[in-house]
């Protein structure tokens, strides 16, 4: 799974650029009462690769509604950046150790006795690990824009930075 590990590394660099813009004094800010705080969204984004790697290492995952969607409130941007490093390291170990058989094996998401979905583990890596990061990284860029913080280059330019200039 070398190419997928390389993709993880590349995307982790982009995620780090976005997370590095999170202002320490705005970690508890949120754009709406139903939204996560900036800090919660940042720590969640940072920990997705490692958390999902741990979940995908098993044959199925049982959704716990008490914990689902409730990331902790980090105390600092340093904590968020350290979480990203640890998370990416754990995901790399998982991806590098993923045999073709294990990658092709069916993985299941369960809620009690109900199967929510079942798909090959390699598809779950793409949809749950990678796409999940992209989704929340996009949310983070909107939070930054709302706080009038320059949005870094993600893919191509942003309204604040042009990598081609």
Query: What mean pLDDT is predicted for residues 39-68?
Result: 92
Burial of 123 (0-12, 13-18, 19+ CB in 10 A): middle
Q: Is 165 part of any domain?
A: no
Q: Is 161 part of any domain?
A: no
Query: What mean pLDDT is predicted for residues 121-139?
Result: 95
Q: Is 100 part of any domain?
A: yes
How far is 56 from 52, CA to CA, in rounded Å? 6
Q: Alpha helices of 22-159 — where are they, by DSSP H?
A: 38-56, 77-96, 100-104, 121-124, 131-146
Domain count, the chain: 1
Query: What mean pLDDT is predicted for residues 141-160?
Result: 94
Q: Is 164 part of any domain?
A: no
CATH of the domain at 84: 1.20.120.450
Nearest to 87, CA basis, from 46, 128, 35: 46
Beta carbons of 1 and 96 less than 8 angstroms apart: yes
Q: Which domain holds residue 82?
A: 2-146
Q: Is 107 part of any domain?
A: yes
Q: Is 156 part of any domain?
A: no
Q: Is 162 part of any domain?
A: no
**Whole-model pTM?**
0.93
């Amino acid at each position: 799974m070398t190419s997928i590990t390389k993709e993880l590394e590349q995307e982790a660099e982009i995620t780090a650029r976005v997370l590095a813009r999170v202002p320490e004094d705005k970690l508890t800010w949120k754009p709406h009462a139903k939204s996560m705080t900036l800090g919660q969204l940042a720590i969640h984004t940072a920990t997705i690769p490692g958390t999902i790697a741990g979940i995908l290492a098993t044959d199925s995952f049982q959704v716990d509604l008490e914990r689902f969607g409730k990331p902790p409130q980090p105390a600092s941007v340093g904590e968020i950046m350290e979480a990203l490093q640890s998370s990416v390291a754990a995901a790399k170990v998982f991806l590098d150790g993923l045999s073709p058989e294990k990658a092709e094996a069916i993985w299941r998401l369960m809620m009690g006795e109900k199967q929510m979905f079942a798909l090959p583990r390699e598809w779950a890596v793409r949809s749950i690990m990678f796409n999940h990061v992209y989704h929340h990284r996009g949310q983070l860029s909107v939070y930054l824009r709302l706080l009038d913080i320059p949005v870094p280059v993600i893919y191509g330019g942003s309204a604040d930075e042009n990598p081609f200039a």
